[in-house]
Structure 1
Amino acid sequence: MNGTGTGLGTDPNPTPHPGAEDPTRSVIVVGCGPTGLLLAGDLAAAGVPVTLVEKRPHKISNLSRAIVVHARTLELLDARGLADEVESLGRRLDRMNLFTRLTVEFDTLPSRFKHLLVLPQYEIEPILERRAVAAGVRFRYETEVTGLSQDDEGVTVVTRGADGTTESLRAAYVVGTDGMRSTVRGAIGLPFPGRSVIRSVLLADVRLAQPPENILSVHSRGDAFVFFASFGDGYYRIVAWDRRRDTSESEPLDLEEVRQTVRAAAGHDFGMHDARWLSRFHSDERQAPSYRVGRVFLAGDAAHVHTPAGGQGMNIGMQDAANLSWKLASVLQGRADDSLLDTYQAERHPVGTEAMRSSGVIVRLAMAKHPWTRGMRAALTATLNTVTPIRRKLALQISGISVKYPAPDGAHRLVGARVADVKLEGGRLYEVLRGGRFVLITPEDCRDKTGLEDRLAVDRRTDRGSAGRTTVLVRPDGYVAWAADAPGLPAIEAAVEEHLGERISLAR
């Protein structure tokens, strides 16, 4: 996909960036949240030179809104050797209560992580940052993007530092992970259609004298709703809203207003006190029509935003990063054609759309205004609680486990599906994936027939837990690239060549 996008003002005589990497092989990531950190760390670990540009000073903010890590994101962190540390910091929750009556259960998920994890974004970012630093990512904090242009060979990004110095950075590709108000998205001329769904939502981190029974729960009554989540340190995150209080975000917020809103939604204020953070925000549903324009990509909130219901926002962004990173590395290292990058749009755009839909349904049910819509909510929650398959489907969707990517016509039924953490000869699949390589899983021991481990970016293991005859080629992000039932060696050779760009021979 070729194209040109130019936006913002540019300095006619920018200062060259000192010590820049080969621009034909490098990537610039703009935005240092979880999405950008994961993406940059992946690329650097794969040997791609990466510069991460962030306009904020170098510090981790404790004012982040994201507080939930879902099972699929934990699997991706596991594939990077980070899940155990993340799990040690958070609070596991095997079910989530919505509208008091509806329970979404995660303890039956087909995953090593049969729960969601309550852990604020500011606890996750340092872990991702340490990995990125160790992998060799070049960080440029207090650096603002002021211009961007691209041509057939690469992208030029003009930046301004804290001292006003203007510099020009050059790379083969640029990824904007710079949030809802993305400068990169504006620079390539992409709209961000959608609308504000809820205005004047209250955020508060407080202590509670009478904590709710559950670690994470949602209550609604009349014109108000409230979401509770325990941080495990005595503080609770509260997200509250009252239809009757439409206040500008610029208006100051005090603890008494939060108390009143929580009382309206839950019947009492749980004895809240000692607020360490109070804020207002509005919640939007927006999505860029394309996640790619030429050599520039969008990921995370720069590409899509939706209501916080279900806690999917940060998770979807990190999953975007995991999808894009291995594809960029494959193209830059000559193992794949540039057309591989078009699959990022085809695979991730529908996921963002579905997240907007599912979170929108939850928040609209919570916002139900008329008696008939509240009656519909009561009937729906009663149905979901009694129909196990529907409730299970909801858990799979919210957790990210159910995501399946489109497959070519005639492909095996498994192509595009997420692969569970199966036991392999060399360990668990997600341990093997830590090498950032494709994994060939075959029910037969092929050690005497191939030198794949030495010659290709493929790690072949024997699946001891499978009685079937299916051979599966797993992508670095844990999805099936190719599968076949009882294939011969020529079929495996052809699949590996197609997906890794190298000709091989498995015969002795």
Structure 2
Amino acid sequence: MEDVVIVGAGPTGLWLAAELRLQGVSATVLEAKREPEPHSKALTLHPRTIEILGMRGIADEFVDAGIPLPTGHFGALDARLDFRGLDTPYPFTLFLPQVRTEELLAAHASDRGVPIHRGHQVTGLDQGPDSVRIAVEGPAGTYELAARYVVGCDGTRSTARTSAGIGFPGTGSTIWGWLADVVLADPPAGAVSAFGPDGGVMAVPMPGGRTRFVGIAPEDHRAEHPGELTTAEVRDKLRRALGTDFGLHSPSWSSRFGNATRQADAYRRGRVLLAGDAAHMHFPTGGVGLNVGFQDATNLGWKLAATLRGTAEPGLLDSYHAERHPVGADLLESTRAQTALMTTGSVEGLALRGFLSGMIREVPEFSRALAERLGALDVRYAPAEPAHPLAGRRAPNLAFADGGELFPLLRGGNHVLLDLTAGGAGTALPPGTRRHRAELSGAAEPWASADAVLVRPDGHVAWAIGGAGRSGGDGRSGGATTEQPDRAG
């Protein structure tokens, strides 16, 4: 029997499998497609995603393969968000087509011993008290597997989700965007982004001399699918929005996508869990979908492994839903807001775009807040009770007085106790916790006055003591959600 079967070999499933193997848990990935997807739906990795890769020591592989961009956009507004002042070693968005991202993640998972079976379609699940039976249609015929847990990372039409009876409420599509990867005979001199009464279009240079156009047109504001996107239609849309089609030719991929917005009502039902697009569906504004799924997997991996090892509190696995469902809800709110900004052609709507662009240019705090939100650097998991100000927050790559940093201490997927007073934390710790006695260098409050901080394997603070959050009793102030400091995995 497998510990975990993961349905889907996209970025979320591949990363989750590697995280489980890092924790010593067996994981098998089943993917319906026989070959990796040849086209890149997503193009961007955001700062928090790169930080997670950095915590496992492999960020450089991805950064070297991509193009760091110091700015990003919210709702395709004219004013760009500046990432360069953010508190992260990776103050940029990374242009990296999904095809390459998946190649790197698949190699990482394979290096950790993860079996990835392509051409194996999961057709149903049957939960029992101690395991899940998985029906599979493979290249050699039908067969069954048994696993202690199943995680659906199989997209918006998730078989795992429907088989588990998990609801997927939300709204259907009323607007359809389009994209086309083409070659241009007369390419523009720089970036292209235009939004007006005749629709909106953005152009992104792609590898191999291609350009991706992404757009929204007034005639595509409708509930029914507009049908296949033709090259003639793309030319017409570009001419109306930009005055030229740049001599486009040789399309290699085109697609339409709607603004249907849905979220699973539970990220866990029994022994079936969901992550990534199986848990949340939205208009692909801001390139956030892949990144949020990746972060789902990072939150889930260590908790599921601790549960399987028997070192976790019973409620720890349920904290996956408690922590990540609100993040998914926030994702849906943000993408809906950006969709509204991108699809308005009215005088009032264009005025709103201009007003918000002005705020981004003139109010640094507003611009920074949007950049942190887009980059997932602002995510904090709400503590279950009044707690230290650091509890649940993302831990940045703290610098130590001896020249060391925090992220290398997390490479083994372990908890890290930062003993910042060299006097011992005085509390029981999760199994395998790495204790590091150090003095912080250049840290701001509330980090500067903390006496001890327990950092989880996903880089969020489990609890902290000292400074403004000093507590009496045994000094435990600040377990995020239901996690307890003496039993967390």
Partner of 2:29: 52
Q: State the AA in 2 paired with 1:241.
A: I
Q: Flag the 1:418–1:450 CA change in 2: closer, same or farther, 3 A.
A: closer
Q: Assess, with a 3 A threshold, how the Cα gap between structure 1 residues 447 and 388 changes in structure 2: closer, same or farther.
A: closer
Q: Contact 2:179–2:254 (CA<8 Å) still a contact in 1?
A: yes
Aligned counterparts of 2:486 and 2:300: Cα–Cα separation in 1: 16
Distance 1:168 1:489, change over 3 A: farther
* 8 Å contact from structure 1 (residues 198, 283) kept in 2: yes
Residues 253, 278 of structure 1: 8 Å contact kept? yes
The one-letter code of the counterpart of 1:230 is P
1:454-483, Cα deviation, whole Å (9 max, x unpaired):
x73324241431453431100000000000
Q: Could you say which residue in structure 2 is the equivalent of 1:222?
A: 197
Residues 488, 498 of structure 1: alpha-carbon distance in 2 compared, 3 angstrom cutoff: same
Structure 1 counterpart of 2:139, one-letter code: A
1:106 to 64, 83, 87: 83
**Which sections of structure 2, spanning at least 5 residues, go unmatched?**
none
For residue 487 of structure 2, what is the aligned residue in structure 1? Answer: 501
Secondary structure, counterpart of 1:310 in structure 2? helix
State how far apart, in whole Å, the 2-side matches of 1:269 and 1:76 are.
40
Equivalent AA in structure 2 for residue 354 of structure 1: D
Task: Measure the CA separation in 2 of the matches of 1:28 and 1:90.
Answer: 31
Q: Measure how far apart 1:408 and its partner are.
A: 2.3
Matched-pair contact (CA < 8 Å) for 1:50–1:137: yes
Structure 1 gap segments, 5+ residues each:
1-19, 504-508
- More deviation in 430-439 or 59-68? 59-68
Equivalent position amino acid for 2:336 in 1 = G
User: Are 2:458 and 1:477 equivalent residues in the alignment?
Assistant: yes
C-alpha displacement of 1:89: 1.1
Alignment of 1:255-294 (within 5 A): 255-294=231-270
Q: What is the CA distance between 1:228 and its match in structure 2?
A: 2.4
Paired residue for 2:169, among 190, 193, 198? 193
Relative distance call for 1:498 and 1:362 in structure 2 (3 A) is: closer
In structure 1, distance between residues paired with 2:311 and 2:294: 24
Partner of 2:178 in structure 1? 202
Q: CA deviation at 1:198?
A: 5.1
Q: Which residue of 1 aligns with 2:211?
A: 236
Q: Contact 1:426–1:461 at 8 Å: present in 2 too?
A: no
2:180–2:213 Cα contact (<8 Å) kept:
yes
Deviations 1:414-452 (A, max 9, x none): 100001101245832112111100011122335999999
Preserved CA contact (<8 Å) 2:313 2:488: no
Secondary structure, counterpart of 2:315 in structure 1? helix
Q: Is 1:357 equivalent to 2:333 in the alignment?
A: yes
Q: For 1:405, what is the secondary structure of its paired residue?
A: coil
2:61 to 82, 85, 88: 85
**Structure-2 change in CA distance of 1:340 and 1:326 (3 Å):** same
Alpha-carbon RMSD: 2.9
- Scaled by the length of structure 2, the TM-score of the pair is 0.89
How far apart are the structure 1 equivalents of 2:428 and 2:322?
34
Contact 2:429/2:487 (<8 A) preserved: no
Residue 250 (structure 1) shift: 7.9
Aligned length: 475
154-163 or 459-468, which deviates more:
459-468
Asked if the contact 1:439/1:461 (under 8 Å) is kept, the reply is no
What are the within-5 Å matches in structure 2 for residues 321-336 of structure 1?
321-336=297-312
Deviation at 1:387, TM superposition (A): 1.8
In structure 1, the partner of 2:449 is 468
Q: Paired residue for 2:379, among 396, 403, 421?
A: 403
TM-score, structure 1 as length reference: 0.86
Say whether the 8 Å CA contact 2:19–2:301 is kept in structure 1. yes
In the other structure, the counterpart of 2:130 is 153
Supply the distance in 1 between the matched residues of 2:455 and 2:59 (Cα, whole angstroms): 20
Q: Contact 2:391–2:478 (CA<8 Å) still a contact in 1?
A: no
Specify whether residues 285 and 245 from structure 1 end up closer, same or farther in structure 2 by C-alpha distance, changes over 3 A only.
Answer: closer
Q: Which digits, 9 at most, give the CA deviation of each residue in 1:129-164, with x for residues without a partner? A: 111112122222211112212122122212121232
Cα distance in structure 2, aligned partners of 1:426 and 1:405: 29
1:428 alignment partner, SS class: coil
SS at match of 1:156: strand
1:225 is paired with a residue whose SS is strand
Q: 1:185/1:212 Cα in 2 relative to 1: closer, same or farther (>3 Å)? A: farther
Deviations 1:227-258 (A, max 9, x none): 32223543222212212257976844333321
SS at match of 1:239: strand
Q: What letter is aligned with 1:178?
A: D
- Alignment partners' CA distance in 2, 1:502 and 1:314: 28
Mapped contact 2:69–2:93 kept (Cα < 8 A): yes
The 1-side partners of 2:23 and 2:394 are apart by 22
- The answer on 1:438 being equivalent to 2:419 is no
Distance 1:154 1:267, change over 3 A: same
* Segment drifting more, 239-248 vs 314-323: 239-248
How far, CA to CA, are the matches of 1:363 and 1:493 in structure 2? Answer: 43
Structure 2 letter corresponding to 1:126? E
Q: Deviations over 1:288-321 (max 9, x none)?
A: 1111111111100000011111110000000000
Pairwise mapping of residues 175-186 of structure 1 onto structure 2 (< 5 A)? 175-186=151-162
CA separation in 1, counterparts of 2:124 and 2:245?
48
State the secondary structure of the residue aligned to 1:149. strand
CA, structure 1 residues 498+365, in 2 after alignment: closer, same or farther (shift >3 Å)? closer
2:229 is paired with a residue of what secondary structure? coil
Equivalent residues of 1:452, 1:459 under 8 A apart:
no
Tell me how far 1:260 sits from its aligned partner.
2.0
Q: 1:212 to 1:194 in 2, by over 3 A?
A: farther
Q: Identity over aligned residues, as a percent? A: 37
Q: Pick which of 249-258 and 90-99 moved more.
A: 249-258
SS in 1 for 2:318: helix
* Cα distance in 1, alignment partners of residues 343 and 170 from structure 2: 18
User: Is this contact kept in 1: 2:63–2:94, CA < 8 A?
Assistant: yes
Q: Any conservation in 2 of the 1:242–1:264 contact (CA below 8 Å)?
A: no
Conserved in 2, the CA contact under 8 Å of 1:68 and 1:120?
Answer: yes
Tell me the equivalent position of 1:375: 351
Change (3 A) 1:325 1:222: same
Alpha-carbon offset, residue 75 of structure 1: 0.4
8 Å contact 1:90–1:119 — kept in the other structure? yes
